[in-house]
C-alpha cells in the first residue's frame, strides 16, 4: 500500500469476533491483538486507518436471543462493544464509522422479503432503521463524553433517485422513494431529526414502530462528523400505473414503480445502469441540503463478475 501511494485504509472490526461473550462484553484478546499489529503497521507506513464498527456482522447470538436490531437491548450491547473498541484503539485510530450501509440488511429481509425469514414487515424494517440511527447517536455521544480525538461518521449507500419525467406524479414518486431509502438515514444522522413526512406516511399506513422522545433527543444532539458514500448506479422511478392490492401489506412501492431509461448504458454483469453523473449530483445535494458535511466516496465501481475473455460487460 505504501508503494502504491495510499494514504488511508478503510476496513472493519468484526463485532462477532472481537468479543467472545456479547452480554459480558468479553474481548477476544488474540483477535484484538491482530488489530493492534495491523494499526501499528499502517501508522508506521504513514497510512491512516479508517475503521467501520459494523459491516453486516451482527452476532448470530443477538439475532437468535433478541431479534437483532429490532431490540433496544442490542442497541445497548452494540454501544458497550464500541466502548471496548474505543478504549483499546483510540490512540491509534481517529476516524470511526458506526455502520456500513445500515439500511441494507433489513431492506433485504423485512422490506423486500428476499432473505430468511422471508417476512414482509415494514414496521420491523423501520424499527431496525431507527435502532441503527439511535446506536449511531449513542456512539457519537460516548465518543465526545470520553474526549477522544477524531471523528465519528457513518457510511451510507444513498440511491441517487431520478423521476421518469417532470410531471408532478413522477416527481412525487421520486420524492417518496428518496424519503424512504435515503432521507430515513441522511436526515437524522446529519440534521438530527427524521423528516416529518416520514412520520406522516408511516402513520397513514398504520406502520407501527417504537421510539421515544428521549431517543429522538439523543439523535438530535449527537449528529455525525462525516459521511462515507457508496455510489454504484442511479435509481429511476415513475408513478404507479396500477392500484395497490388491498391485501398486500404496506411497502414504499405503494408510491412508485421502477423505470428503465431507454438507451441507458448498462453493466450487464450486475444489471446496473452506468451513470457517473450520480457522483456530482450526490456531491451537490450534500453541499446544498446536508450542511456541506465532510464526505468521501467510500465505494464505487462496476462490480463486474465475469472474466474479460468470457463476456462483454457493457452494452
User: Residues with catalytic annotation?
Assistant: 101, 299
154 vs 136: CA distance, rounded Å: 8
Which cell goes with 175? 420524492
Please tell me whether the peptide bond between 117 and the residue prior to it is cis, using omega within 30 degrees of 0: yes
> What are the backbone dihedrals phi and psi of residue 161, each rounded to the nearest 5 degrees, phi first?
-110, 135
Residue ranges of E strands in the chain = 8-12, 19-21, 26-27, 48-52, 95-100, 151-156, 161-163, 226-231, 235-238, 257-258, 266-267, 272-273, 295-300
Query: Which letter, b or e, does each residue of 168-197 get, where b requires 16 or more Cβ atoms within 10 Å of its Cβ?
Result: eebeebbbbbbbbbbbbbbbbbbbbebbee
306 vs 298: CA distance, rounded Å: 23
283 vs 271: CA distance, rounded Å: 24
User: For residue 256, what is the DSSP state?
Assistant: -
95 vs 51: CA distance, rounded Å: 6
255 vs 174: CA distance, rounded Å: 9
Amino acid at each position: 500500500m505504501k508503494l502504491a501511494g495510499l494514504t488511508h485504509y478503510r476496513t472493519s472490526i468484526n463485532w462477532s469476533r472481537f468479543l467472545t461473550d456479547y452480554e459480558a462484553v468479553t474481548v477476544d484478546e488474540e483477535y484484538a491483538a491482530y488489530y493492534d499489529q495491523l494499526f501499528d503497521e499502517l501508522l508506521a507506513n504513514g497510512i491512516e486507518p479508517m475503521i467501520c464498527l459494523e459491516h453486516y456482522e451482527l452476532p448470530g447470538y443477538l439475532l437468535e436471543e433478541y431479534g437483532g436490531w429490532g431490540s433496544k437491548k442490542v442497541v445497548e450491547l452494540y454501544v458497550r462493544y464500541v466502548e471496548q473498541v474505543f478504549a483499546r484503539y483510540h490512540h491509534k485510530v481517529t476516524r470511526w464509522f458506526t455502520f456500513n450501509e445500515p439500511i441494507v440488511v433489513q431492506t433485504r429481509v423485512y422490506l423486500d422479503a428476499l432473505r430468511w425469514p422471508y417476512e414482509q414487515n415494514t414496521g420491523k424494517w423501520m424499527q431496525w432503521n431507527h435502532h441503527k440511527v439511535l446506536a449511531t447517536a449513542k456512539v457519537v455521544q460516548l465518543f465526545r463524553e470520553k474526549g477522544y480525538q477524531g471523528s465519528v461518521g457513518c457510511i451510507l449507500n444513498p440511491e441517487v433517485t431520478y423521476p421518469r419525467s417532470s410531471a408532478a406524479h413522477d416527481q412525487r414518486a421520486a420524492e417518496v422513494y428518496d424519503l424512504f431509502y435515503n432521507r430515513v438515514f441522511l436526515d437524522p444522522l446529519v440534521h438530527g431529526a427524521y423528516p416529518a413526512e416520514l412520520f406522516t406516511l408511516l402513520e397513514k399506513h398504520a406502520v407501527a414502530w417504537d421510539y421515544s422522545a428521549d431517543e429522538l433527543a439523543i439523535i438530535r444532539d449527537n449528529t455525525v462528523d462525516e459521511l462515507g458514500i457508496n455510489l454504484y448506479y442511479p435509481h429511476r422511478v415513475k408513478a404507479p400505473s396500477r392500484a395497490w392490492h388491498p391485501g398486500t401489506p404496506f411497502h414504499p412501492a405503494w408510491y412508485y414503480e421502477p423505470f428503465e431509461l431507454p438507451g441507458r448504458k448498462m453493466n450487464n454483469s450486475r444489471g446496473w445502469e452506468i451513470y457517473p453523473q450520480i457522483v456530482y449530483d450526490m456531491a451537490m445535494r450534500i453541499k446544498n441540503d446536508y450542511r456541506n458535511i465532510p464526505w468521501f466516496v467510500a465505494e464505487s465501481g462496476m462490480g463486474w463478475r465475469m472474466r474479460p475473455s468470457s463476456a462483454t460487460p457493457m452494452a
